[in-house]
Amino acid sequence: MSTTENPTSHESEQNPESFEDPGVPYHRPRRADVDPKAEKKAERQVAALFGVSIVGTIVAVGAYMVLDMTDEIESIRFTNMVIGLGIFLAMIGIGLGAIHWAKTLMRDHEMVEERHELRSSDEAREGAIQNLKDGAEDSGISGVKRRPLLVGTGVLALLAAPLAVLWPQIGNMGADWNTSNFGHTMWRKGTRLARDPDGTPIKASDVTIGSAFHVIPEGLNELEHHKIEEKAKAVVLLLRLDPRDLKIQEGREDWSFDGIVAYSKICTHVGCPVALYEQQTHHLLCPCHQSTFDVADGAKVVFGPAKRPLPQLPIAVDEEGYIVAQSDFHEPIGPSYWTRLKDTSDGLHADETEEGGH
């Protein structure tokens, strides 16, 4: 190894403002370093935190298996809250346990590494390996006999924690894969368009030019089963434009009423609710990835990653002046899926020509 000049002393000769290296501050031993009782206490605290993590995992997995989630929003909220709480405890227990272990029990001596050639000397390499071994020995990782409680609970917590996340995911794989459910919604001939969320029907006279209504099918709130799923598919935006601004699509001459049009609220990109309406430009914006649809022109895509217009709901007005659906949507709502259908009256024929599927 070549002898090199000390750069610090050379620098201080050239630069009078440089100062002496203050060195490493005095090392103060922690209580756990000098008091075996404090060390045992810290060890128990770390084990308790790992125990919290294990309990969290049991809560999350147990809640997923035991709690009977119904269609009621309260039931969905409660189940998700308990599973989420379990996952939170599972993760935070491991995190805090590891931090507490490092701060109270692992060696905390300040280390200084002098700069020199990049490759360490053989002695330094052997020293580093020895340091790692010492560190492992010091932390108790390799000393199962010395800290069996810590190692045991730590390993158990690490093995169990992924279950809190994976179990519900794997469990959901057994869900309903029948894609024909996506092809139909609650809308039927004569179903009134109602305000979301109170479900009161909307008269044509309520819809002034420039206004926008968030709409659900009348009767949705009274459903006893699958209310959330049906709502997720059937939500609609109802808007009124100046009829002179509307470009009526071929074959859809009677799908609107005096400038009032209804489009699915589910973005055709990946299914976020499209809810931002810019009445001057007649543009509907999806907040997720900024797909923009032109309501005046069949809700065609004018910007963003969506590849298809929003499906239009054909509407009419009944004898009492309420806006009603003429039928279900004529195509499946929402994003693409492997058997997605398009522009067919029953929505049941695979689309060969669809562009830009995902």
Contact footprint for ligand FES (CB under 6 A): 267, 269-272, 286, 288-289, 291, 304-306
Kindly state the smallest distance separating residue 262's Cβ from ligand FES, in Å: 19
**CB nearer to ligand FES: pick between 284 and 323:** 284
Based on CB atoms, which residue is closest to ligand FES, 171 or 287? 287
Asked if 310 contacts 331 with a C-beta cutoff of 8 angstroms, the reply is: no
Task: Pick the closer one to ligand FES by CB: 239 or 310.
Answer: 310
With respect to ligand FES, which residue has the nearer C-beta, 116 or 289?
289
For residue 274, the minimal CB distance to ligand FES (Å) is 7
Rounded to the nearest 5°, which phi and psi values hold at 303? -165, 150
Maximum alpha-carbon separation in the chain? 101
Shortest distance, position 268 Cβ to ligand FES, whole Å: 8
Number of other residues whose CB lies within 10 A of the CB of residue 51:
16
Minimum gap (Å) between residue 269 Cβ and ligand FES: 3
Contacts of 150 (CB under 8 A, 6+ apart): 43, 46, 47, 50, 101, 140
Distance CA 160, CA 163 (A): 6
By C-alpha distance, which of 315, 307, 349 is closest to 331? 349
- Cβ closer to ligand FES: 82 or 288? 288
Q: How many other β-carbons are positioned within 10 Å of the β-carbon of residue 41?
A: 14
Contact between 238 and 260 under an 8 Å Cβ cutoff? The reply is yes
Q: Shortest approach of ligand FES to residue 280 CB, angstroms? A: 21
Question: How far apart (Å, rounded) are the C-alpha atoms in residues 56 and 87?
Answer: 6
> CB-wise, 195 or 300, nearer to ligand FES?
300
CB of 285 to ligand FES, least distance (A): 9
